[in-house]
Amino acid sequence: MLLALTALLGSLVATNAAATASTTKRPCSDIEAPDVPGAKIVSIISTELVDFTVPAVRPILNQDVTGINVCQVLVTLTHPGANDTVNVQVWLPLENWTGRFLAAGGSAWAAGLGPLSIAPYAVKGFAAASTDAGLTGEILDPSPWALKPDGTVNTELLTNFASRSIHDMVVVGKAVSKSYYNKGPDFSYWEGCSTGGRQGLVAAQKYPEDFDGIVAGSPATYWTKYVIAELWPQVVMNEVGYYPAACEFTAVREDVVATCDELDGVKDGVISNLARCKYDPSRLLGKSIDCNGTQVTINDKLVSIVKKIWEGPKTASGSPLWYALTVGAPLDTLAGIQDVNGTDRIGAPFPVARDWARLWVKQNPNFDFAALDSAGLRELFAESVKKFNSVIDSSDPDLSGFRKAGGKLLVWHGEADHIIFPQDSIRYLQEVRKSTGHNVKDFFRLFIAPGVDHCALGSIDGAGPTDALGSIIDWVENKKAPKELAAATLPTAKTQFTRKLCAYPLVAKYDGHGDPSVAASYHCAKCL
């Protein structure tokens, strides 16, 4: 996808860019090359883009961004000895710059998404930046860069992806902003989800003075642990010897929602009270469901698989190894399958987990996941943590530097996230609290979104945050700490409603009167 986006950008520049008179003290074509410690600038190219359009590429960018007028700065750099080529892209509004700089995060194996991620900010007056971290290949395929020709891990590019490129992008972005506007940004922000959320936490931990405010959605905080735990549903299916069709998992989830939906006093197709949802899939045994025109009977193997997936992976002694999918989260992403010859099915691991295990942990592109069992998963887990915890995890609870610098951190996570477990974000908040020894609400707040999937992509119908960035800006610039976030369902949701997301551990509770589909009918409470 990244290669395709590069080609897309080139064609758009050719058809949309036009030179106009500069409205700044320094011409766009005369931006100074930045000084990036530890790196060498290879080139800097700056061009005015006038009435530029970035077309939608769903689900990354859901609608066209039009009327973009920016000075596009493309900086290429390399780290001596690393044999890398890193591209940083910065868009500087030609007019009406707000004085704000924003760095946008990536997704999956992409450190950044270029125009797709920065266009929405640039049209709102932000100087916005993205980086490719020197990586090549598709967003879900890191194989072109993960290993060197001799089969060993490309540690330089992994370091770029994990942390180094984040700071480099900030240094470049702030420097070219200052060169163009003859003043540096008044405020600097980060926004990203998933990999982008992890990058935001890395910035707070390793580069505490880079950002005034950070929005980290569904962050991949405990990378070396949760990514291996994502393989647990595959292990369960291997050990049971049954690979359910996606419609079987869907039938279970729909029944969970029907059973537990109204435990919060509101029927909206969302489980908002997981603590009271004591669901047993055995109730579906023998039930016939329609699977694309074929009648399938729920059997004991499916029931066993679902129960074990929800229990999560265990240590050899039976203690929890890591977290599991929450009840109500879609099952078929991590318990993916693929058809063979139209009759048989085999497991299909989630791509990020698959590639992390085979390319980095095992350095074996042909690793056999069909043979992976509980013992093998435990070995993978331990090996992943031992080899790469210090490289890629963003779980350091010591945020004292970020707090001292006056930074504000806003983390949000869907409670029905089907890729990164929401328990991870709760754990991180608790560990930060233990590390600081105080209440952390002055600089770090967590918001859990009931019924929301990974990064609110819309596979299910909960209400995701609508303007988390606006909340962090208000916190940083106006000292108004967010007690709640505005949230709404996507236009594709079966039931349309708005909600308020409350700062953890508070939850939104229906007042008992008023329209239950409107956020104003709810208040933040300790429990439902």
Between CA 465 and CA 452 the distance in angstroms is: 10
Catalytic (active-site) positions: 194, 417, 454
The strand order across the sheet containing 498-502 reads 464-465, 484-488, 498-502
- Start-to-end CA span in the chain (Å): 43
Q: Which residue from 217, 221, 266 is spatially nearest to 507, judged by alpha carbons?
A: 266
DSSP assignment string, 26-88: S-GGGPPPP--TT-EEEEEEEEEEEEEEE--BTTTB-S-EEEEEEEEEEEEEE-TTT---EEE
Q: Helices (DSSP H) in 418-512: which residue ranges?
A: 422-436, 468-478
Ordered DSSP codes for 108-164: TTBS--THHHHHHHHTTT-EEEEE-TT--SBTTB-HHHHB-TTSSB-HHHHHIIIII
Contacts within 8 Å (CB) and 24+ apart, 26-33? 26/179, 26/180, 26/181, 26/182, 28/71, 28/92, 28/94, 28/180, 31/71, 31/73, 31/176, 31/179, 31/180, 32/175, 32/176, 32/179, 33/75
Helix (H, G, I), strand (E, B) or coil at 229: helix
Taking the C-alpha atoms of residue 278 and residue 256, their distance in angstroms, rounded to an integer, is 9
Backbone angles phi, psi at 6, to 5 degrees: -65, -45
- In this structure, what token pair is assigned to residue 428? 């991180």
Q: Summarize the chain as % helix, strand, coil (round to 5).
A: 35, 25, 40
Cβ atoms of residues 247 and 288 within 8 Å: no
Name residue, tokens 């900030």: 170
Residue 484, SS3?
strand
Task: Please list, in sequence order, all residues whose beta carbon lies within 8 angstroms of the beta carbon of residue 95, skipping any fewer than 6 positions away.
Answer: 23, 69
Cβ contact 101:127 at 8 Å: yes
Find all residues with CB under 8 Å of 379, minimum gap 6, and list them.
none
Of 253, 264, 260, 375, nearest to 314 by C-alpha is 375
Q: Rounded to an integer, what distance in angstroms lies between the CA atom of residue 310 and that of residue 251?
A: 16
Residue 293: both structure tokens together = 């025109």
All residues at 6 or more sequence positions from 324 whose CB lies less than 8 Å from its CB, including other chains: 229, 232, 309, 310, 311, 312, 313, 421
**Furthest-apart CA pair in the chain: how many Å?**
74
* Bond preceding residue 505 cis, omega within 30 of 0: yes
Amino acid, single-letter form, for residue 210: D
